[in-house]
Structure 1
Amino acid sequence: MDRLPATHPPPVAPLAQFGAADIATVGGKVANLGEILRAGLPVPAGFVVTTDAYAQTAQRAELSSLLADPVVTPQTLRNTLLSTPMPAEICAAVAAAYQDLGENLPVAVRSSATAEDLPGSAFAGQQDTFLNIIGIDALLEAVNKCWASLFTDRAVDYRRQRNISPADVRIAVVVQLMVSSDTAGVMFTADPVSGARDRIIIDAGAGLGESVVSGLVTPDHYVLDASGKLLEWKPGRGEVIIRPSAGGGVTHQSVADDQSRAASPTSLDPADPLLDSADLASLSAHASTIAAHFGRPQDIEWAISAGKTWIVQARPMTALPEPTAELNAFRRLQGAILAEYLPVRPYPLDVTTQIAHGPAHMMHEITDFFGLKGAFVDFLREEDGVVIALVPPSPRPTPRVLLTPAKLLYRALRFKPSQWSADPRQSAFLAEVADLESLELNSLSWDKLLTVPARAMATQSYCRDLRIDYLPGSGLALARMIVFTTVLGRRALIPDLLGGAQTRTEDSNQALAKLADELRIDPALHILVATLTGEDAAEQLRNNPQLAGFGRRLQEFLKEYGRRETTSPLLVSEPTLADSPGVALGMVLALADAPATENGTQSKSASAHKRLLEHWFLRSARLSTFAQRLVNSAREAVAFREDTHFYFTAALPVLRASLLHIGERLWHAGILQNPEEVFHLRWNELTGISDPAMIPSGQLERLGSAITTRSAKRAELAGVPMFDASVFFPTPDTGDALASGTPAGSGSATGIARIIREASDFEKLGHGEILVCPYTNPAWTPLFKRAAAVVVDTGSAASHAAIVAREYGIPAVMGTGTGTAVITDGQMITVDGTRGRITRAL
């Protein structure tokens, strides 16, 4: 960073001299301001202390040696820069440029780093700004402080999250005439919440804009359409006003509560707004010009002084949600299914392996087989190699759909769900998975290692063919039972009747219950297990003789049932249950802390079965036998659906293990900084590596650049959802309800809301509390024995969580869209599973 070229640009130059091509010299903020000037917009006059000036000072401070030392703290770096005298020629150049602006005029001094105000890395507020600086001594001090702010703790952490090396970053400083504004603030050329590109959002505060930018004030809030028409105005409170001080610097004027402006959200209220129609027209015109000039939505800082509008900063809007188009019913259905399967943003390796070849692809192939083209395919929109949005496709029927009734009938009559597990294809599938699991990955050559993920992904074809053949018979069995019980007036018994199905998920739950029983009857063992920590749980179980027996049985459980996903069957980047013994322990502890109960689903099923057979129409032995046969067939259909879901993740652990092993090989070869970075790469990029030990420099550079870019993009999008849940899960007006959704388990329950966002949080759910979560999958079902009710952001009445909730007889509301956002952890709520409403408990 400190080495200077033989010839270099002047350390200080006029602001108007620079533009987009000069980021390396003046940083992102100045480059953007220069572009705005060229577009003819009003920007305060000023000059730039370039990155070359910073580099000369950093070279004098021997900063490069400090950056190479991992022990050196950001505080040390800041202190070193602050204590290093600025070269005399730079001081003189700054003084001359300042004099050219006028005699000791007040100026604003702002940082402009080379990684700042760019698409994907706004760096908003990471470096320092100094306002109303008067005099050359104060100016030089402010410039030095701006340089030092390159190493604030927040800036260092921000760069670390985005894999930006400190040695690759320089900083310039822009000095502009101070605008003593009457009103100032920020505006966005798109809605930062919804992503709508046809909106201009303006926030305004009295005095200097720092009060708005730093969040010290509740600003006036204006929403305009693309033409500049005012759609909404919400007055702010004006709690603080920042004004320039006569001798330099600024003062904060607190406004007393009785003087603050009304904060009621009254659109177009006659009370005095800070901005009049002329101000809004000027701002909206500038916003449109700037967005058009840069070709993308912009985040703009502005100021109005004596009726004149000034633009003081503009940067690309980052973390902007993709706008969601109108969806028809089938696109919304796909969106609801995929949203449940993708609760977190997938990595590039997820997209090109398990998503491209796993369960979603299986659903695509099944629907395509029955004549529907384009379903469950190409549903992820990517930018810079990172998923930015989930966009359900628009499938269409093909002429082959005319053959669908015949296909369904043929398979319903030939393939019985009760016989699916004996199908030779299932045996072949399990044999292939077992063979993959037996491989010693360490001993495989690079070429052989690359065949393992490909083989693991290919196993989905077995699951696809089994589902194509056996699902029609399952659907027919369920339909027959539904019609039969409806005719008898016993339709309400269906959930409990189906709850008697013995599935692999229920086997897993019972195995967990047995482990919990061990802790319940042995308090000393319970205490020991409760002290285990998540990441080291497996090692502690192995090393503690008192836990050997329990640890062995837990390992047996994980061997039998650990192929399940903890987050989603579509994600190979997320650990499986076998990878997460701490999660399994959390489930066991959650069950052990609850009172022992009998098998609720089996007892409810037996009771429902008895009530059905008590119907007067079924008194004859023949009709009673017929009814039992219908119920058993429907249970076998449920078991087929559940068990094939259980098995289609069977190859997931070996797929994940082989990809991580590929990551380890690349890490040892110096291509990756850690094995987990492999998830930032695409499958074709991995298969394109002939030999990690002899990778060409150009290919190595491309891979490194891809990882850095994608890592930064993911960090930028960390708080941005991939979809608007309210579009996939539309709900009617909730009235006084906190949230509403699809009724999925009848009844009502009141209790403490406990928000569980991921599997590692399982043990936080107390007995009798209400489980509120963004998604669920079969690994979550043990929690249902502990919960009083379930509220889920995603899903439908046919989702796994809904089915299990009905089996356990607890109220459930699915597809709320916003449950985890509007319900507070620990809040007392009432869940009405019959009406699909969640309200505050009275």
Structure 2
Amino acid sequence: MGIKEMFPPLGEIEEERLLLGSKAATLNALAAKGFHIPPGFVVTAEAFERGGPGLTEALNEAADRTGHGPFAVRSSAAAEDLPGASYAGLYETFLNVTRDDLHDGIRRCLASAAQDRVAAYQSTLSTAAQSAPAMAVLIQQMVQPLAAGVAFTANPLTGNRHETIVTAVPGIGETLVAGDDIGEEWTVRGEDAVCNRSADTLNAAQALEVAGLARSVELQAGAPQDIEWAIDAAGVLFLLQARPMTALPEAVDWVAPGKGLWSRNFRLGEWLPDPMTPLFEDWLLPRIESGFLDGMQADAHVRVPFRYASVNGWYYNAPPVPSLRVLAGVILESRGRAPWFLFNALFRVSHNPAAAHRAVLGDLELEWRNELLPAYRRLVRKAEQDIDSATRNGLIELVDTICKQAGVYLWSLAIVGGSAWKMESALARFWQKHLSGPLHGTAPGETGYQALLRGLSVTTPGHAPHAVYSLDWYHPTAGEATPENHGQDARPAPGMAEALSAQRIDAEATARKALMDQPRVLAQFNSLLGVAQHYAVLREEQAHDLSLGWPVLRRCARRLGEQLVAAQVIDDPADIHFLTLEEASSPSPRHRPPVVSRRRTWQQQRRLDAPLTLGEPARIVGDPIARAVEAARTSHDLPEGAIVGHPASTGRVTGPVRVMHGPEDFDSFLEGEVLVAKATAPAWTPLFARAAAIITDGGTLAAHASLVAREFGIPAVVGTGDATRRLRTGQRVTVDGGAGIVVPVQIPSSRPPVT
């Protein structure tokens, strides 16, 4: 047999797949199809063992035909890189092997099949995978890359088959494959490449080229693929490996659950930055929504249910579908009060806030201070006394009662405190019409109307133990998660507060001076400014105590969970959050709910990029989120990799990113970092005193992040959609809160660019 027949080059090998191993067989087939793969050959275990005196000569001649070296010596087992058995990282790979060391490299690679870690992994696999024949060794000319990495033809986190994820590092890609480097990341959708994490490794054209290579491999294989690739100094792209993607989650669809525009940003959505756990969705959510309607009934004399739904576990809501029939029903049911009430609370507040305050909102504020909040506090104190002696039915009744009261409170927060952003919008329009010209170029003019809302004194106490990261009671309250912060002041430091107050007072004086010759306009300004400042403070006061009952609710859940553990229904008290209400209230020892699979589904849903809106907006109202983002896109020349959202708090700052997922990350947050989160709630407030800027996936002008960032005088961009995925901890960004834009800072590279 001739040398070429003994070790034919990749693309010409006719051995069976079982002898070549999966890796070599795949690359051999792709090379035969014309894919650009580093030249090489395969040595089977049988050939190596029986090669005899001619083996070294045959290896040398095959190596000479392959290239000038050095070489990569890589394992290729029959059971490797299969959908049910990846064997990732178990066998040895040797890089930059000289021709003189080829024989020893092959021997060591074959010997790695006998390692203990391989046997341990094999024991977890199917019988077919365990009984596969010995592996072969793939020898290839080394590519000396300027950049290398991996690419997935489906999003490995979400299962989205329309996205290709490209990850890159400078040089050899082993640090990425081994998990020592997270690398630069691109998401490619069609012909659109977006850099999620930038490290100045690839440009958009190169990301598209890598994605195109990966999709071509997928087309040949007929299934989503995970490839390794490299680009050499000449700019040539090589395919180094291809295998089926394993453990790929099922792709999900984001379909609106009904007509109109559905949002996960408004009402309860702001307080639910994660998908809902099953028990919260089945029990607490309906009770809170019912309490919300109780509050509406008390004030507007009507119940108009807002539509809400779970889409892939995420909370979405939409206003009622308008119709003459619904309107007539509202008028009749409320005996005429509802139209007058809603006119003031929803429409007039945006155009004449002072009049809305006099007509409706002022009385509702007094009702909240004198009746609603004291009643909520009394209810919680009573529950704290009763919880330890309560039966299962008693615990359920406590949960129902507290949630209904929280829903009534939420109604007051939505109508009263929720007026803050409508009044702010009115103030912004006034500024644009009467003050943006006269104050252009001055310090208040550069800051804009938001200077008028900074440095306001909020009368709530410091960081509260009942503050929450999420209203879903699965998550611990601030008192549980960060007990050391109980006494910490959740307000700007005295020096900062004084500076912000001085800036606000200066802006007020400058605005009044500019309007001095227009007494009627000046009077309008003073009236508008007064209510806007008052409700900006009031909103945070109200939001502070929405979750007043959550420590008690968490204790109730714990007690119920312990009872279910004793009844052998679940294994851990925390498992109760993955039951339905019926399973929790009427347990059966003969039926053990599928807690493990539900928890796994919830964890997968947490990794999804849930859209901020679903469905089609009404023509008259439109989509406010899309409008704000589009305005930022069209009014600025966006650099590559820019992230666009709502301009929530003015200012411009550059600093390092810290991506935060919840209270468990709070201790890692450092002074001067840019806080990046899905959303923020009162439990996050102490971090604002240390943050240089705020960026969130969700949120609007009415969101906690927007209001508190302005109080602290730091830039904020909210409603970005996916900043937590596109940014990485340590990455430097410039946050322009006035424009609603986040721009990654490109650090000059000491290595030559990939061309």
* Correspondent of 1:759 among 653, 656, 663: 663
The Cα of 1:315 is off from its aligned counterpart by 6.9
> Residue 481 of structure 2 aligns with which residue?
580
Corresponding position of 2:348 = none
- Verify the 8 A CA contact 1:745 1:811 in the aligned structure 2: yes
Match for residue 648 of structure 2?
744
Aligned equivalents of 1:668 and 1:202: distance in 2?
49
Change (3 A) 1:668 1:483: same
* Counterpart secondary structure, 1:779: helix
Gaps of 5+ in 1: 1-41, 47-97, 152-165, 204-209, 234-261, 292-296, 302-310, 382-386, 513-560, 690-694
Correspondent of 1:445 among 387, 391, 396: 391
In the TM superposition, what are the counterparts of 1:350-361 in structure 2 within 5 Å? 350-358=280-288
Q: Is contact 2:257-2:311 (8 Å) kept? A: no
1:408 aligns with 2:342: yes
710, 718, 740: which one aligns with 2:598: 710
Partner of 2:321: 396
DSSP 3-state at the match of 1:377: strand
The equivalences for 1:327-476 within 5 A come to: 331=261, 333-334=263-264, 340-358=270-288, 362=292, 377-381=308-312, 387=313, 396-399=321-324, 400-401=326-327, 405-409=339-343, 412=356, 413-415=359-361, 416-422=363-369, 424-441=371-388, 443-466=389-412, 470=416
Deviation string for 1:69-106 (max 9, x for gaps)? xxxxxxxxxxxxxxxxxxxxxxxxxxxxx99xxx99xx
1:126-525 mapped onto 2 (5 Å cutoff): 146-149=118-121, 173-175=130-132, 190-192=154-156, 195-197=159-161, 266=205, 284=219, 286-287=221-222, 317-319=247-249, 322-324=252-254, 331=261, 333-334=263-264, 340-358=270-288, 362=292, 377-381=308-312, 387=313, 396-399=321-324, 400-401=326-327, 405-409=339-343, 412=356, 413-415=359-361, 416-422=363-369, 424-441=371-388, 443-466=389-412, 470=416, 489=435, 494-499=449-454, 502-503=457-458, 506-508=459-461, 511=462
1:390-446 CA distance string (max 9 Å, x none): 6676963243257675341366524534423355444433332332222242x2222
1:775 partner letter: A
1:322 positional shift: 2.9
Structure 2 counterpart of 1:284, which letter? Answer: L
How far does residue 658 in structure 1 lie from its aligned partner after superposition? Answer: 0.5
Task: Map 1:815-826 to 2 at 5 A.
Answer: 815-826=719-730
Cα distance in structure 1, aligned partners of 2:559 and 2:669: 35
| 2:333 match | none
The code of the aligned residue for 1:801 comes to A
Amino acid at match of 1:148: A
- The 5 Å alignment of 1:14-53 reads 44=17
Measured after TM superposition, the shift of residue 644 of structure 1 is 3.1
Distance 1:624 1:340, change over 3 A: closer
Cα deviations across residues 500-548 of structure 1 (Å, max 9, x unaligned)?
6654xx523xx46xxxxxxxxxxxxxxxxxxxxxxxxxxxxxxxxxxxx
Q: Which amino acid aligns with 1:446?
A: R
Equivalent residue letter for 1:792: T
Deviation for aligned residue 1:757:
4.1
Kindly state the Cα deviation for residue 626 of structure 1 after the two structures are TM-superposed: 7.7
Q: 2:683 aligns with which of 779, 782, 786?
A: 779
Distance in 2 of aligned mates of 1:811 and 1:222: 27
**Any idea what SS the aligned residue of 1:801 has?**
helix
Question: Secondary structure of 2:739's match?
Answer: coil
Paired residues of 2:676 and 2:696 also in contact (CA < 8 A): yes
* Superposition deviation, residue 575 in structure 1: 1.3
Task: Name the residue aligned to 1:9.
Answer: none
1:562 equivalent in structure 2: 465
Q: Counterpart in 1 of 2:583?
A: 685
Which whole-Å CA distance do the structure 1 matches of 2:385 and 2:153 have between them? Answer: 56
CA contact (8 A) 2:260 2:318 kept: no
The answer as to 2:552 corresponding to 1:654 is yes
* Distance (Å, rounded) in 1 between the aligned partners of 2:465 and 2:370: 23
Q: Is the 8 A contact 2:158 2:251 kept in 1?
A: yes
* Contact in 2 for aligned 1:726/1:817 (Cα 8 Å): no
Query: In the aligned structure 1, how far is the partner of 2:368 from the partner of 2:302?
Result: 27
Contact 1:195–1:323, Cα closer than 8 Å, also in 2? no
C-alpha distance in structure 2 between counterparts of 1:117 and 1:724, whole Å: 30
- In structure 2, relative to structure 1, the CA distance for the partners of 1:481 and 1:329 (3 Å cut) is farther
Looking at structure 2, the residues matched to 223 and 782 of structure 1 have their Cα atoms a distance apart, in angstroms, of 34
Are the equivalent residues in 2 in contact too, given 1:426–1:462 (CA < 8 A)?
A: no
* 1:735 CA drift (Å): 0.9
State the shift of 1:663 in Å: 1.6
TM-aligned CA deviation for residue 686 of structure 1: 0.3
- Return the alpha-carbon distance in structure 1 between the equivalents of residues 296 and 127 of structure 2: 54
User: In the alignment, is the contact (CA less than 8 A) between 1:660 and 1:676 conserved in 2?
Assistant: yes
Partner of 1:721: 608
Residue 455 of structure 1 and its aligned partner are, at CA, apart by: 2.0
SS in 1 for 2:480: coil
Deviations 1:734-786 (Å, cap 9, x if unpaired)?
Answer: 31565343222223234454444433544555545544444322333333334
- Residue pair 1:792, 1:819 contacting (<8 A) in 2 also: yes
Residue 835 (str. 1) matches residue 739 (str. 2) = yes
Q: Percent identity?
A: 21
Q: 1:140 to 1:737 in 2, by over 3 A?
A: closer
- Range 490-499 or range 664-673, more displaced: 490-499
Q: CA deviation at 1:809?
A: 2.9
C-alpha distance 450-643 of structure 1, shift in aligned 2 (>3 A) = same
TM-score of the aligned structures, taking structure 1 as reference length: 0.55
Q: Does the residue aligned with 1:657 lie in a helix, a strand or coil?
A: helix
Q: Report if aligned partners of 1:812, 1:831 keep a CA contact under 8 Å in 2.
A: yes
| Contact preservation (8 Å) 2:455, 2:712 | no
Give the C-alpha shift of residue 173 in structure 1.
Answer: 1.4
Does the aligned pair in 2 maintain the 1:418–1:633 contact within 8 Å?
Answer: no
Q: Could you tell me which residue of structure 1 aligns to residue 539 of structure 2?
A: 641
- CA 1:626–1:723: 2 relative to 1, 3 Å: closer
Determine the C-alpha separation between the residues in 1 that align with 2:176 and 2:670. 42
Q: Flag the 1:172–1:489 CA change in 2: closer, same or farther, 3 A.
A: closer
Change (3 A) 1:651 1:215: closer
Instruction: State the distance in 2 between where 1:480 and 1:333 align.
Output: 23
**Mapped contact 1:374–1:396 kept (Cα < 8 A):** no
CA pair 128-355 structure 1, distance change in 2 beyond 3 A = farther
Q: What is the number of residues matched between the two proteins?
A: 596
